[in-house]
Chains A and B, each alone.
Chain A
Amino acid sequence: MIRQFTKGIFQRNPVFVLLLGLCPTLAVSTSVGNAIGMGAAATFVLVFSNLIVSLLRKLVPNKIRIPCYIVVIATFVTLVELVLEAYLPDLNASLGLFVPLIVVNCIILGRAEAFASRNAPLVSVVDGLGMGVGFTLALTVLGTIREISGSNTLLGLELIPNFSPAMIMILPPGAFLTIGLLLGLFALLRSRREKGGVSPAGEGS
């Protein structure tokens, strides 16, 4: 059970290993605050959609399983959107379009299809939580690097007085530069550990 949780953080980290959900990752990791907010919202959806999909796995006929999953996921995303709008309007404004787009975040449909539809509810929830935490951590790492180098701030507070930061880091090119370097680092660490093993393949984006 613990392994099901930690695999989402390390061996099968959705962003750094599976390369899933890169679009929201690149777009909202401009600051640590945004990264954590997006991660939390996606984790919530992931946990509950995994739970419901797992509960429904014997009732839903195979032929219509994908539309059913999408309905379940879309329902939870709309819920998150309503809650953010009502109670966290600032976060809602900065995440913008990316909240509704959680619906099509491949991590969520991917876990519903690959895991929750074949496993018991409890272990599916743990899987969702692990993947969500892994996603949040990845976003936070990116957000920290980009906020420090691009805005010279951390959580909105200035780091080095009178220092002009590298603006490019908070713009889209900075996102690609950061994720490219991080992916390279991860691949290097893994290949070191596997001692010349084949580089692990992603599962699409």
Chain B
Amino acid sequence: MKEGTILKLGLTLTAICLAAAAALAVSYRMTKPTIDARARADKLEALRVVLPAAAKFSDRQSGPEIDYYEGRDGSGNLVGYAFPGEAKGYSSTISVMVGVDPEGTITGIKILEQKETPGLGTQAVDVPASRTFWEALLGRGEKGPAGRPPFQEQFAGKTASQLQVVRGKSEDKIEALTGATITSRAVTDAVKESLQTFLKQQKRI
């Protein structure tokens, strides 16, 4: 191959790559503000869900063991803390946000990220639809506001010692999802471990 040809090939490829890079740079700049705003909104939404009593949240406070957020009500009283946790699930790392009141009782949890088996592990984030397909097709039934996933709702009002997964019905423990015991345990472990770490850290301060 002549040197001239190699040069020509290289230059053509360079030109195409440059054009592609320019196009991507422009679109990255255009979408970045929206993506960042959404990430912030998601975080705030998670804090609201896990600590419903709080009206305002502090910035992320760094602790020696675990970072946390402080939640205060309208008049500035401390109503609780929120902190992240994670554990290995069946097919992904599950990350959660946990909210507790100052006494250490869980006020709520929210699964932030998971890639569990669709239809099994993902039941942890599923909200049952309030109406059936046929009702929707005929325009009957209320669409209703999207509720919270029942699996995650179980955690509210529990303390660290009650975080045990059981099969079947239970009043004071965590009921496992049908066919997704590993996911149920992983979520519970993520909550329990981060809660224990946080409480230990609080005692020391």
> For chain A, which range describes its interface: under 10, 10 to 19, 20 to 34, or 35 or more residues?
35 or more
Contact A156 B129 (CB under 8 A): yes
Q: Which residues from 7 to 21 on chain B have a C-beta closer than 8 Å to any C-beta of chain A?
A: 8-9, 12-13, 16-17, 20
Is A161 engaged at the interface, CB distance under 8 Å to the other chain? yes
Is A157 engaged at the interface, CB distance under 8 Å to the other chain? yes
Please indicate the chain A residues that have their CB under 8 angstroms from the CB of B16 in the complex: 56, 60, 68, 71-72
Contact A60 B12 (CB under 8 A): yes
Contact B35 A161 (CB under 8 A): no
Contact B120 A82 (CB under 8 A): no
Q: Which residues from 117 to 168 on chain B have a C-beta closer than 8 Å to any C-beta of chain A?
A: 117-120, 128-129, 131-134, 136
Contact B133 A155 (CB under 8 A): yes
When chains A and B are docked, how far (Å) is the Cα of A132 from the Cα of B179?
36
Choose, from B23-31, B56-64, B72-80, the stretch at the interface: B23-31
Closest to B36 in A: A86
Residue in contact with B31 in the complex, picked from A67, A86, A161, CB distance below 8 Å:
A86
Contact B119 A85 (CB under 8 A): no
Please indicate the chain B residues that have their CB under 8 angstroms from the CB of A86 in the complex: 31, 34-35, 38
Residue in contact with A153 in the complex, picked from B8, B23, B35, B129, CB distance below 8 Å:
B129
Contact A72 B20 (CB under 8 A): yes
Beyond A75-B20, A171-B119, whether A82 also contacts B28 by CB under 8 A is yes
Please indicate the chain A residues that have their CB under 8 angstroms from the CB of B34 in the complex: 86-87
Contact A71 B20 (CB under 8 A): yes
Is B40 engaged at the interface, CB distance under 8 Å to the other chain? no
When chains A and B are docked, how far (Å) is the Cα of A31 from the Cα of B31?
28
Is A1 engaged at the interface, CB distance under 8 Å to the other chain? no
Interface of B: prevailing SS: helix
Residue in contact with B133 in the complex, picked from A31, A68, A157, CB distance below 8 Å:
A157
> For chain B, which range describes its interface: under 10, 10 to 19, 20 to 34, or 35 or more residues?
20 to 34
Contact A161 B132 (CB under 8 A): yes
Contact A167 B120 (CB under 8 A): yes
Closest to A85 in B: B35
Is A151 engaged at the interface, CB distance under 8 Å to the other chain? yes
Please indicate the chain A residues that have their CB under 8 angstroms from the CB of B129 in the complex: 153, 156-158
Contact A157 B119 (CB under 8 A): no
Is B200 engaged at the interface, CB distance under 8 Å to the other chain? no
Interface centre among B118, B131, B134 (most CB of A within 10 A): B118
Contact B119 A159 (CB under 8 A): no
Is B43 engaged at the interface, CB distance under 8 Å to the other chain? no
Q: With both chains docked as a complex, state the minimum distance between the C-beta of B116 and any C-beta of chain A, in angstroms.
A: 11
Contact B17 A71 (CB under 8 A): yes
Please indicate the chain A residues that have their CB under 8 angstroms from the CB of B35 in the complex: 82, 85-86
Contact A159 B23 (CB under 8 A): no
**Between-chain CB contacts (< 8 Å), 21 pairs:** A30-B119, A31-B118, A61-B5, A68-B13, A71-B13, A72-B16, A75-B24, A78-B24, A82-B31, A83-B31, A86-B31, A86-B38, A150-B119, A154-B133, A155-B133, A156-B129, A157-B129, A157-B131, A157-B133, A167-B119, A170-B119
Contacts A56-B16, A155-B133 given; 15 further ones with Cβ under 8 A? A64-B12, A68-B12, A75-B24, A78-B24, A82-B27, A83-B27, A86-B31, A86-B34, A86-B38, A151-B119, A158-B132, A161-B132, A167-B179, A171-B119, A171-B120
